[in-house]
Amino acid sequence: MKIVLKSPLDMHLHLRDGDMLESIARCSSRYFAGAIVMPNLVMPVTSIDEVISYKKRVLKAIGDDKFEPYMTLFFKSDYRYNFLKEAKEYIKAIKLYPSGITTNSEGGVSSFEIDDLRETLEAMSELNIPLLVHGETNGFVMDREKEFSSFYEKIALTFPKLKIVMEHITDKNSVELLNRHDNLYATITLHHLLITLDDVAGGLLRPHLFCKPIAKRYEDREALQKVALNGHPKVMFGSDSAPHPRDKKESCGCAAGIFSAPVALSALCELFEKNDKLENLQKFISDNAIKIYGIKPIKKEIVLEKKEFLVPQKYGNVVPMFAGEKLSWSSYESTSS
């Protein structure tokens, strides 16, 4: 049994930089036609020159693979209209991080008063530049996303023309927000569709499943699965694949992030097949994102074949999700694409 995915897209991807970029970039570019590339490098991407330079490094790392890196800027509250008008040619979105909430986010937003963010948000709204948000407060870890929902509602109402993507949503409350505001959209990861906090810490601690936002409850996973599996038009796949060296994961102070890029399509196909929803996989993995972002991706066909795939123990020095386990679907690029 085989199915063909047309131009699969990853709408939330961490490619890092330097040796890590060189090591893992092709784990995405082999299987996807494009991806929204996150800007939270050690020195965040905040200028046009930095966007151009980073894109060049990404393209060098992927070699001859047919893959378009859709670049982003790291949100700053004082971006001017003229700057963003010029930057729009080089970026697809701007990513907002609350300060210190996740990896390399120390330079993020510390005040969520609308007036403190208005200049940048108004310019983005007028220029039709999407706002991508890591939506968490600094509250109790299981409640952070829910607590952040009031800010989503505030900016959705204040800037009704601004396209807002709630990144890597993890709870049922965020799912409910999708139908409450026309300008709210969401990405959902593979791991949040599959795991709960029990999988991370219910028995022995599994550091390679530790991520932010942290995996939540069974009812939250069920809500995420419902909209993804049924092809909800406002949700799209974003892996949030976030590689860290093995020693940074298997250590005191475990780094947050799950590396899922090389297994994502196989595992998603397995999930959709299990729920008898394979007909909606194309929507989740590409079609919805094309409509939401208004993009024309590179033409690329990826074949999913019902053939056992033994996941490697590591890619370079990075341990992937499902390391050493067998998945029932294999993926590869069609020779006709």
**CA-closest candidate to residue 10, choices 239, 262, 336:** 239
Structure tokens at 20: 């890590």
Residue 220 to residue 234: CA distance in whole angstroms: 17
Structure tokens at 165: 């993507």
Element (H, E) at 13: strand 9-13
Instruction: Return the amino acid letter for 283.
Output: K
Q: How many CA atoms lie within 13 A of 85 on its CB side?
A: 6
**CA-closest candidate to residue 308, choices 325, 286, 289:** 325
CA distances 95 to 65, 109, 216, 280, 307, Å, are 26, 11, 23, 28, 38
Residue 55 to residue 31: CA distance in whole angstroms: 19
240 is catalytic: yes
Locate all alpha helices (DSSP H) within the chain, ordered by sequence.
18-24, 26-29, 48-62, 81-87, 114-127, 144-158, 172-178, 190-194, 197-201, 218-229, 246-249, 264-274, 281-282, 288-293
Point out the catalytic residue in the list 10, 65, 220, 240.
Answer: 240
Peptide bond into 213 cis (omega under 30): yes
Active site members? 240
